[in-house]
Chain A
Amino acid sequence: DGGITQSPKYLFRKEGQNVTLSCEQNLNHDAMYWYRQDPGQGLRLIYYSQIVNDFQKGDIAEGYSVSREKKESFPLTVTSAQKNPTAFYLCASYRSSLTEAFFGQGTRLTVV
């Protein structure tokens, strides 16, 4: 079945450590996104990529990094520079021409 997969669902890390969240899609979508959701807040865009080997900063990119070496994969690294990394992270992919974006199930990252 086609879809978008985020792993792991829950992730715990010590403060000061980098951590990478996985996002894989087999929908043949060109565009992929990373969002962050905090309690009581909407979805804020971290990074997005419209094509392999290219990506753009979203509204809250500081402290995060991404790569897009393959069309299917868009991993997000939460670095130690991110001041408040504990959040629910959502990955999405999108095909051009008036279609909807599909979301993964999310990864809840807790930094202790």
Chain B
Amino acid sequence: DQQVKQNSPSLSVQEGRISILNCDYTNSMFDYFLWYKKYPAEGPTFLISISSIKDKNEDGRFTVFLNKSAKHLSLHIVPSQPGDSAVYFCAAMINFGNEKLTFGTGTRL
């Protein structure tokens, strides 16, 4: 049972345009969400996170939006750059709970 889903396995975007990566979750107990970027044969690196008490968090070119009622989050990258090409994973956890970090299947940008 996949509790965190990234339904688009890949996404192509022109340089300078906006990249929007989507993530859906099923467990309403999740209250902390993270996005990671991964290059081949390397460990993921943290990009940005959001707590369920917020609906938006920005860090430079990266913005994460959270829609709790829809159990949906998205990562916006503006403007997109060639160095952004990687696999992006969203992850979710129940903070201060069992702290089990559950990842989606990833989207290759």
Contact = CB atoms under 8 A, between A and B. Distances in A.
Nearest to A42: B105
Nearest to A43: B103
Interface in A74-102: 88, 90, 92, 94, 96-98, 100-102
A58 B41 contact: no
Interface residues of B, number: 26
A64 interface: no
Interface string B5-35: 0100100000000000000000000001010
Contacts of B34: 100-101
A53 interface: no
Contact of A90 (B44, B46, B100, B105): B44
A108 interface: yes
Interface of A: 6, 31, 33, 35, 40-45, 48, 50, 56, 58, 88, 90, 92, 94, 96-98, 100-106, 108
